[in-house]
Structure formats: structure tokens, C-alpha cells
Structure 1
Amino acid sequence: MPRFSFQQVDVFSSRPMRGNPLAVVVGADDLSDEQMQAFANWTNLSETTFLMEPSKAGADYRVRIFTPIQELPFAGHPTLGSCHVWLAHSGKSPSGYIVQECGAGLVRIRRDGTRLSFAAPPLNRSGPVDPTLIDRIAHGLGIPATLIEDANWIDNGPDWIGLLLPSRRDVLAVRPDYSLLKGLRVGVIGRFDPEQDGADAMFEVRAFSNRGTEDPVTGSLNAGFAQWLIGAGIAPSDYIAAQGTVLGRAGRVHVRQESSDIWIGGEVTSCIQGSVEL
């Protein structure tokens, strides 16, 4: 069986096992769709990625992103984790942007000190959420619909629906019933109270996937929230979001708007390195 270089990395944390894990297979050009999907199902991580030679001009590498059940055109923590592994294996040190090719097109990535950051891709869908759907989501989250201050579609590949709650405390108190949220990707965000919650972040985020799990730290969701909330004047142009608290993680997502770009960044830590036979 062919053997491939493999890494498992932790994204959005400088400390291993405190962020969101990602499995990365290097040199996967000859693997079939079925092999990639089967391996992603076996790892059972939120995403597994496969690095390939680029097919589009201007790209440094191509990545395909799989959940255990489907391929995604784009996802945030796989973008940063895959770039981290590509830099380690290629031995290259680009002076400008690193350009990733994925199903959503070309995504720019840059190094900010020890962090990697990606430029948030345009939203495929935005705008208000149907009130009937909001009621269903509120019921599925175990909260009154009146607690939801606002809701927006923030679809940038994964079809996230974002909810704004009054506070971090409200976000942490959510107890989802996945049978009622079936088929939906729902994110919730609430502001920190500096006196009660500290000042190392401004918002708390939680992400509930369409396969009945909570995602530890989610780049695509945070990108969508940033585009919505900064654009609406609810969030400042530079902030840090915390995620994963309920799961015992300590993810930190760095958000910064520069001109028309919103950059989503975080630390990436290598945890497992070796080879895999597929």
C-alpha cells in the first residue's frame, strides 16, 4: 500500500491539545475521492485534509478538505493547519502571501509573528434568517427565542447560521439538542464581561455542526461572524474570540480588519508526525 507523510496538528492554540485537531496527508495527488473520504471518516476528526500540487496559476499548493461525511470547499482551521504542514514539508519560506487553492478558490494566508492568518473568503450567503427557522434553532439550543439579539446567514463554504446572544454567560449555558438541530450548522457568539470573564478575549463562540457534535475552534465560523459583526458595527475591527471552553479547550482566534480584508489568525502546534498507509 502507498505510504504518505502525515501530521496531526492543533490549530488556534500554542499549547498542544488545547485547540482543534486536524489530520493532514501530504502528497495525496494520486488518492481517489473514495480513499480520501474513507480516511477522513476513519480519523473521525471534524476535518482531515489532503495536500496536493496546485492546479491553478498563482497557488502554492492545493488542499482538499473532508469531514467524516462530506467534502467542504473551504474551512478555517484546516486552512491554517494545512498551511503549517505545507511550510514544514516544502521547506519554502515565501516573503509575501502564501496562496492556497481549495474548492472555494484561492485563499491568501500570511504569517503574523508566530501566527498564521487567512483572508476571509466572501460570503456565499448572508442576511436575515427566517423567523420560523430561528424558533426551531432556539428550541434546539434550549433557549427562548427572545434571548437571540440577532441572527444572520454567514455561509462561506460551510453553511453557518450565526446567532448573537447578550453575553458570554448565555453562550456557555447553551445545551443543544442535536435531534432538533439536525442538518443545521449553528454558531453562537456573546460578549465577554471584563469584570467577570477577564480581558484576554472579547467574545465567546460555540459551534454546533450538522453531524451532531460541537466543534472545538472554528475558523470559518469566526470568519463569518467577523464579516457580519464588524460590518454591522457590533464588533470592533480588531478583537480576540475564545472558543472551546465547554469542551475543555482554550482556543483563541485573532480577528483583524485591514482595508477590505478580514484576517482570521491563530497559532498552530504539531502534535503527531509520521507516515500513514492508504
Structure 2
Amino acid sequence: MTMPRTRSFMQVDVFSAQPYGGNPVAVVLDGTDLADEEMQRLARWTNLSETTFVLPPTAAEADYRLRIYTPGGELPFAGHPTLGSARAWLEGGGTPQHADRIVQECAAGLVTVRRGDGSLSFAGPPRVREGALDDAYLDQIVAAFGITRERVLAHQWVDNGPGWAVVQLATAQDVLALEPDLSLIPTAMVGAIGAHPEGSSHHFEMRTFAPGAGVPEDPACGSMNAGVGQWLTAIGGAPSAYRVSQGTRLGRAASIEITADPDGTVWVSGATTVCIRGSITA
């Protein structure tokens, strides 16, 4: 156990142009000398989907190293914590090695974050698992979602670290109507996506459920959207640039922009707003 001391702390709202409409992340800007169990205890206490700890990098190319904790455990990578932590690091006086980008080191490797007008974007890391779900797991998911397999248009592993799988339903309304029984999939990390009607401000509605990480439903999920974006743009299931709404059932208004470069790199973009600045004793 370390001797508690005062550390800089921020809470950042991610993926909403309107503060308090997206997904918050707690950022401890100096996690130096905190033990794993101390980080985990703090993450349980904040009770947010993720709490992050900024550390000195070990890779020469990186601007900082990030550890990411849910209430249930550590993640090798997560999307909205990546953008929120980058915003907090910049606001806390961090200076990147390159003016146009930040390089984050995390357990999944190096992640590039681009700086744009009013938003940040991260490059989706490679998926560690892809391909169709096996029949047994798909049966568990549809049972938990209270739907039949016939209503699933497609399904895929889109795991870039947290363990994500996704099912595609016909419409955004189908996604919003889900009333999942997560007790049937207590260790799952799974999402559902469906198309909004033509002419809508967003192309898709997304919901993500992470009982395996201690988060029943995530208000906005960058890592899931990164993996889904890599999958859908590669198979022609979505245009090279599209927008996703998320958090609707939770009273949020998250907006996530996906852009696929010609080389296949998928960028996940969104607004980031520091809502709380101060210090924490840890």
C-alpha cells in the first residue's frame, strides 16, 4: 500500500457536444506508485464504466502510458477512456511529441489519437478476435435479449481487447426495444446495432452491455464502435463515414463518428469536455 497523497484528477464527458450527455471517465493524472489493487479499489469507488491512471511511458514513441479499470477489472484498451484521458492530459499541461497527434501506450499497444477542431479521434487497434460467433454463444445472446435468431441479420466477434461481440438487428428501434436479462450472460461483453431510417441524423443506433466488466449498459462505447466500424466498412455494410447514436435508453445523447481511411484504418471521433477539475487523495 502506498501512502495516500494528493493527485490531479479530472472527469471528462466523452462523445457528446452537450456536456453531461455522453459517457464520463474519471482520470487520475498521476498514477505513479499506485498498486494494482489500489487502482481497482478507486475504480470501484467512482463506479463509472472506466477510471484511468496516467503514467510515464515505457515506449519512446508514446506520450504517456494509460491503465484502464472498470469496476470489475482492468482492460487492455477502451475507446471513450482513451479520448477522455487524452483530453485530460492535454488540459493538465501535457505536450505531445507531435503537434497533430498524441500516442497513448496501453496494454493493447500504442494507440494514435488525432487532434481535430473540437474533437479527438483514435485509430481503432487491430482486432484480436473476429469472425462469426459460434452457435452456442449466439443462442445465449438471443435468449438474453429475448429475441429469436431470425431477427439477427449478422453477428461478429469485434474484439480489440475488452472481448466484444456484436449482433446486427434490422432497425434502430429493434435495438432500443431490447430488455436484456444479463443474468443469462453474466460474463458477456456484447453489443447490438441497428439502422436508423434514411434521412436520420445518425446512421445506426448502438447499445453495449458489459456485465463481464461490471457495467450493465455503457452509455457510449468507443472500442465497440471501433471494432464494429472495422467490420462493417470492410464488408460494405456501412459507408466509409457514418454516425452512431448511443445512450438513448439511459437518457444520454452520445454521438460517435466513424471514418474509414482507404488503407483500412478506422477512426473513432467525438466531442470531449472536462466537467470536473480538482484533486483526489489516493
**Matching of residue 275 in structure 1 with residue 276 in structure 2:** no
CA drift of 1:29 comes to 1.3
Q: CA RMSD in A?
A: 1.1
> Is the contact made by 1:178 and 1:212 (CA closer than 8 Å) also made in structure 2?
no
CA displacement, residues 239-258 of structure 1 (integer Å, 9 cap, x when unaligned):
00000001010000010011
**Matching of residue 68 in structure 1 with residue 93 in structure 2:** no
> Is the contact made by 2:71 and 2:215 (CA closer than 8 Å) also made in structure 1?
no
> Is the contact made by 2:247 and 2:253 (CA closer than 8 Å) also made in structure 1?
yes
CA distance in 2: counterparts of 1:99 and 1:176, whole angstroms: 37
Match for residue 226 of structure 1?
229
Match for residue 145 of structure 1?
149
CA distance in 2: counterparts of 1:170 and 1:269, whole angstroms: 31
Match for residue 235 of structure 1?
238
Identity %: 49
CA drift of 1:180 comes to 0.6
CA distance in 2: counterparts of 1:207 and 1:51, whole angstroms: 26
CA drift of 1:181 comes to 1.4
CA distance in 1: counterparts of 2:132 and 2:183, whole angstroms: 24
Q: Secondary structure at the match of 1:28?
A: coil
CA drift of 1:260 comes to 2.4
> Is the contact made by 1:206 and 1:244 (CA closer than 8 Å) also made in structure 2?
yes
CA displacement, residues 35-57 of structure 1 (integer Å, 9 cap, x when unaligned):
11110011111100001111111
CA drift of 1:187 comes to 0.4
* Candidates 52, 55, 58, aligned match of 1:52: 55
**Matching of residue 161 in structure 1 with residue 165 in structure 2:** yes
CA distance in 2: counterparts of 1:7 and 1:215, whole angstroms: 20
* Candidates 105, 112, 124, aligned match of 1:108: 112
CA distance in 2: counterparts of 1:267 and 1:126, whole angstroms: 28
**Matching of residue 204 in structure 1 with residue 205 in structure 2:** yes
> Is the contact made by 1:4 and 1:276 (CA closer than 8 Å) also made in structure 2?
yes
> Is the contact made by 2:195 and 2:203 (CA closer than 8 Å) also made in structure 1?
yes
* TM-score between the two structures when normalised by the length of structure 2: 0.95
CA displacement, residues 58-115 of structure 1 (integer Å, 9 cap, x when unaligned):
1001110000111100000000000001111125264232100000010000012111
Map of 1:111-190 to 2, 5 A cutoff? Answer: 111-190=115-194
CA distance in 1: counterparts of 2:48 and 2:111, whole angstroms: 23
CA drift of 1:212 comes to 5.5
CA distance in 2: counterparts of 1:52 and 1:129, whole angstroms: 36
Match for residue 215 of structure 1?
218
Match for residue 7 of structure 1?
10
Match for residue 16 of structure 1?
19
CA displacement, residues 1-53 of structure 1 (integer Å, 9 cap, x when unaligned):
31000011110012111000100001111111111111001111110000111
CA displacement, residues 233-276 of structure 1 (integer Å, 9 cap, x when unaligned):
10111000000001010000010011221100100011111100
* Unaligned segments of structure 2, at least 5 residues: none
CA distance in 1: counterparts of 2:142 and 2:66, whole angstroms: 35
Match for residue 37 of structure 2?
34
Moved segments of 4+, more than 2 Å: 90-94
* Unaligned segments of structure 1, at least 5 residues: none
Match for residue 90 of structure 1?
93
* TM-score between the two structures when normalised by the length of structure 1: 0.97
